[in-house]
Amino acid sequence: MLQRLDKTLDHHLAEAAARYGTPAYVYFTDEIASRLEALRTAFGRWFAISYAVKSNPSPALLDWMRDRLDYLDISSGGEFALSQQAGWNPELISFTGPAKREFELRPAIQAGLGELVLESLREARLADAIAGELGRVQPVLIRLAPDRVPKGFGDQMAGRPSAFGVDVEDAAEILPQIAALPNLRIIGLHIYSGTQSLKPDAICENWRIFMQVFTETCSALDLRPEKLIFGSGLGIPYHPGEQALDLSQIAATIGPELDDFRARFPSARLVLELGRHLVGPAGYFLTRVVSVKQSRGSRIAICDGGLNDNLAASGNFGMVLRRNYVMHRVGGDQDGALPVEKHDISGPLCTSIDKLGGAVELPRLDEGDLLAIHAAGAYGPTASPLYFISHPLPSEIMVTGGQMQDITRLGNG
């Protein structure tokens, strides 16, 4: 987007900062729409698309998505409430998460939740009791944890001890017990075992594992699935030098196997579940330089937003070795008037880990300059310790067709 719309992008970012202040997140729905179109072009032959709300639960974005996406996946009662605030039909929602509680399950089941994704026998028994009290039979998917995940994923949720789903080694014992519960109806299976991969071969191998597990489990249960959910694992580039995935390459590689798999389960709807891949690159985090200092040979730009607002960019959201996110000075180098220099980028907090970049080459930053951090559309404010040290909370701005809207939710009551 930056390469195609450099001046237009910076115009919107500067306008957002001027109108709504900083720090701020700016989300471009036109970019989300473009990414959704690319997903449907590559994978629409096989998959419907489900959006993982945890990646960005903004009610305004969920409302915008309502007539554009097939399904939502929520991971808490709070996210279910946000989906209802945004007008989503409960029948189009699946509910994952390893620690669901009675007060979350009851309203969702009562509202007509599409599928409850079961992650344990405890959860199945609790849901069965609630559904029985409500006089309902709740459709459920069983989440399975494969015994291996290929190398190449930023986070693994299977192939080792995991809080997520039923281990495939235990499925033969646990699944028949779930199937025997009278107020639940197993309609399919769910796997999300790895995320944030930029390696097409790893993604394809992971989906092969899914297909094998689905096939074996359906055979063992004598299950004719109505829905099978594939956790996509599709990553996005965060750091300089990383390359975006070629979705057509993935489709060409795995397509014949998906054709065979779909022919084996003709009555099942295959669903690709994803979050960051759709919304991550469509967002930018804006922070303004408050102070600049020289310290022992380093030029340090101290900004009004830091890890309190964007934990991921600080390297403290699951990153083993800290790496800089792609970022740019809004306004560029002023047609060559500003020399490119190395900067350490710090936030406003009284902790040494509040660092948004180290030795970042940027046009010379001075007080008042505006910095945009890329790939900020997913795991932004709701994944950050916003109240640490009690600085002002970031604004959230949505831009659709050039029109700007303040969609800030947090801190507004």
Catalytic residue positions, numbered: 350
CA distance 30 to 152: 30
CA distance 65 to 71: 10
Closest CA to 311 of 344, 274, 349: 349
- The residues, ordered by sequence, that sit 6+ positions from 310 with a Cβ below 8 Å of its Cβ are 23, 285, 356, 373, 376, 380, 381, 384
Query: What letter does residue 348 receive in the DSSP assignment?
Result: S
- The residues, ordered by sequence, that sit 6+ positions from 205 with a Cβ below 8 Å of its Cβ are 150
Q: Which residues pair with 328 in a beta bridge?
A: 372
Kind of pairing between the strands at 370-373 and 138-145: unpaired
Closest CA to 158 of 173, 139, 142, 143: 143
- The residues, ordered by sequence, that sit 6+ positions from 263 with a Cβ below 8 Å of its Cβ are none
Q: What's the full length of the chain, in residues?
A: 413
Kind of pairing between the strands at 227-231 and 269-274: parallel
CA distance 69 to 76: 20
- Cα three-residue angle 304-308-314, rounded to 5 degrees: 90
Kind of pairing between the strands at 71-74 and 47-52: parallel
